[in-house]
Amino acid sequence: MAQRARGRDRGKGGRGQDGWRMRAAKTSSPPPTPGRPITHVGSGSNSKAESNVMGSSTKAASKWVITEKPIWNIKENISCDEDNSQKEEVSNFTKYEKLNEFVKTLTSLSESHVDDLNVALSKRGYIAPGLIFQNKIKYAGNISLHSPVSSSPLRARALSFSLIELSIIGRMASGAAGRATLGLTKPAAIEVPQVSFSAKEIDFAEWKGDLLAIAVSESDMSKDEDLKFLNSILKRLDGQLNGLLSDASIEEDFKGKNGQSIILRLPGFGFRRLGLVGLSQSATSVAATHRDIGEAIAAVAKAAQASSAAIILASTNGISEEFKLTAASAISIGIVLGLHEDNRYKSESKKPYLKSVDIIGLGFGPELDNKLKYSNAVSSGIIFARELVNSPANVLTPAVLAEEASKVASVYNDVFTAKVLDVEQCMELKMGSYLGVAAASSNPPHFIHLCYRPPSGDVKTKLAIVGKGLTFDSGGYNIKTGPACSIDLMKFDMGGSAAAFGAAKVHFIVAACENMISGTGMRPGDIVTASNGKTIEVNNTDAEGRLTLADALVYACDQGVEKIVDLATLTGACIVALGSSIAGIFTPSDELAKEITAAALLTGEKFWRLPLEDSYWESMKSSVADMVNSGGRQGGAILAALFLKQFVNEKVQWMHIDVAGPVWNDKKRTATGFGVSTLVEWVLKNSS
């Protein structure tokens, strides 16, 4: 897309090195030679390069002087005189890779900082001039470049770095070049509630602590003619309280319905408060029921400001020994998620009081203890996914999403490696579909590949999880408009990638970018070419997620994987079909469908398999390309899945999961972390 834009330019200018023309300076001298320092002499230049950054303008160099001093001694070339206290060293390379080599040598920055600096300076392969001052580097201004096949200037817009100074001796503001600065917003660190869980088989009446919580159903609240509880646990407890529990339930009209709760203060007892929590009887699985219990108990603990709690089920009827592990695990996950609040962007926040929880009556021993530790890890992954999705687009740019993936690889470097492909590398892989979507944004795309390898080296099954990674989706030229477009929530268009990183095992692939509008952007009617050679007529720029996934799926297949699951907030049609709490799954593989369904049964997340109706593909055919990227209004979720199918090797088992509904909780206006726990279970099952 960038090449197409260059080809349209017309104008004049002298030819510079590598076939490019320059008009940044009034001189007949050649442009700088890579690897050699350039000294700008003479401060009386009248030549100006217009700046579209913050309304400022910057003087261009009037003469180039090539010096013979080695690049690493460039500070020695800086001198001062009476007229100009700091003479500039101007470096102007038009090739991204040459800038990369230059900056590495010049500043001796770390690899990650060099990458950040390159991201800041690059504009699809072009750079703004670096104005190098004594002991500091400052980036600002414009340069006019000319294509060898045309003659009018193509502005390489300088980024807003006139306010950012970087030390030449290697000190760099933390992430400044790679992080978005719009609004000057910096999130606080992610804080996962730290709760210690233990499983016990003790008499609940003997437990001592802040809060004893009992989960009850409507049937548990049944009473006899004398208004005595029929349930043995409630009957015993009510007897110890001289009927207080029965009286309170009547006064508060507590019937054990889902969402109901009461708290009683009990001075003189080992537990200072007693809480009754109604549990859902409509949940589809043991895991879903008990995760709801955990979240309800977390709410009661918050209200009571309890630092310690114990949980007991009034009735364990219907829970087999096999599922007690699942029930205990789900309760612990529900408690952590119920306690968690995303306060990173609030000026004031409260930390949860709850620090320890005893789960009574669901067994005990090493197996259950290990399960609870596992649940804590899953909770952390879900919260990580939630906070990625919650992050606004001015903070979570494609570069920052790539940085988060790299952090995972850095922390767990014994099993993880991270590879992040830049624009040039994606061009080499011919990812035209993905790059077409990214073309309009000033935030460059980052193609992220996070790879897990078991420490033993014994790889049983090669899996890939591919997540849609649109950090913001404006809709492009088919811009999102109207009250129902939810453009303010389009930060969650990377919910699929968040689930992938939250699961963090095997190959995780995310084509991260933004879908924006600009003169370099993809337009309706454009034809893009995916990395498998198939051509796509873009009849709707707001059907962009499938374009990025197309190249990501091809890349995943090229890794030699046996199974691929992709997750994407892909269609509103899936929400219309299944509502806001159920994800749609599409796959030609019955085996893979059974695996995901079995995993979901253990996590309580809801999925429903929808058909891949091949006859619908007729509406996706183009008269000028292999296909269009958007069909008719009917069966939109199916058409999107059929589109993705065109980019998957037939030998690979593949599933597409449309998470547009359950990735976001409209009532709470927050992300859910949907998909993480199911993906983890699926990966573990394939590795066992």
Q: What is the DSSP string of 74-142?
A: GGGG----SS-SS--EEE----HHHHHHHHHHHH---HHHHHHHHHHHEETTEEPPEEEETTEEEE---
Sites in the chain below the pLDDT cut of 50: 1-114, 117, 120-180, 485, 487-498, 501-505
621: which 2 tokens?
A: 């055919």
Q: What type of residue is 37?
A: P
Is 424:447 a contact under the CB 8 Å cutoff? no
From first CA to last CA, the distance across the chain in angstroms is: 45
What is the pLDDT, as a whole number, of residue 30? 37
Of the candidates 46, 48, 2, the one whose C-alpha atom is nearest the C-alpha of residue 144 is: 48
**Coil/strand/helix, residue 273:** strand
Is 210:309 a contact under the CB 8 Å cutoff? yes
* 197: phi then psi, degrees, rounded to nearest 5: -105, 145
pLDDT tens string 32-74: 333 333 222 333 333 332 222 222 333 333 222 323 233 323 3
What is the pLDDT, as a whole number, of residue 687? 80
Q: What is the spatial distance between Cα 591 and Cα 67, in angstroms, rounded to a whole number?
A: 67
What is the pLDDT, as a whole number, of residue 253? 93
| Torsion of Cα atoms, 410 then 412 then 417 then 420, to 10° | -40
Three-state SS across 175-225?
Answer: CCCCCCCHHHCCCCCCCCCCCEEEEECCCHHHCCEEEEEEEECCHHHCECC
Of the candidates 62, 118, 115, the one whose C-alpha atom is nearest the C-alpha of residue 90 is: 62
Is 432:466 a contact under the CB 8 Å cutoff? no
Q: What is the spatial distance between Cα 331 and Cα 427, in angstroms, rounded to a whole number?
A: 47
- Catalytic residue among 480, 523, 534, 685, which? 480
Q: What is the spatial distance between Cα 579 and Cα 234, in angstroms, rounded to a whole number?
A: 38
What is the pLDDT, as a whole number, of residue 129? 34
What angle, 0 to 180 degrees and rounded to 10, lies between the N-to-C axes of helices 286-304 and 590-603? 30
Q: Which residues of 164-191 are buried (b: 16+ CB within 10 A; e: fewer)?
A: bebebeeebeeebbbbbbeeeeebeeeb
Whether 480 is a known active-site residue: answer yes
pLDDT tens string 376-410: 989 998 998 888 888 888 888 999 989 988 998 89
Of the candidates 528, 521, 525, the one whose C-alpha atom is nearest the C-alpha of residue 539 is: 525
Q: What is the spatial distance between Cα 623 and Cα 626, in angstroms, rounded to a whole number?
A: 8
Is 303:210 a contact under the CB 8 Å cutoff? no
CA angle 403, 658, 421 (to 5 degrees): 30
Strands 89-91 and 209-216 turn out to be unpaired
What is the chain's alpha carbon radius of gyration, rounded to the nearest angstrom? 30
246: which 2 tokens?
A: 């029965």
What is the pLDDT, as a whole number, of residue 20? 27
What is the pLDDT, as a whole number, of residue 167? 24
What are the DSSP E strand ranges found in 247-354?
261-265, 271-278, 308-313
Evaluate the CA torsion angle 164, 168, 174, 180 in order and state its sign: positive
* 300: phi then psi, degrees, rounded to nearest 5: -65, -40
What is the pLDDT, as a whole number, of residue 482? 54
User: Is residue 63 classed exposed, middle or buried when 0-12, 13-18 and 19+ CB atoms within 10 A define those classes?
Assistant: middle
Three-state SS across 630-673?
Answer: CCCCCCHHHHHHHHHHCCCCCCCEEEEEECCCCCEECCCCEECC
User: Is residue 343 classed exposed, middle or buried when 0-12, 13-18 and 19+ CB atoms within 10 A define those classes?
Assistant: middle
Q: What is the spatial distance between Cα 61 and Cα 49, in angstroms, rounded to a whole number?
A: 10
**Coil/strand/helix, residue 257:** coil
- Catalytic residue among 123, 291, 546, 563, which? 546
Q: What type of residue is 427?
A: M
285 Cβ neighbours under 8 A, 6+ residues apart? 600, 601, 602, 604
What is the pLDDT, as a whole number, of residue 686? 86
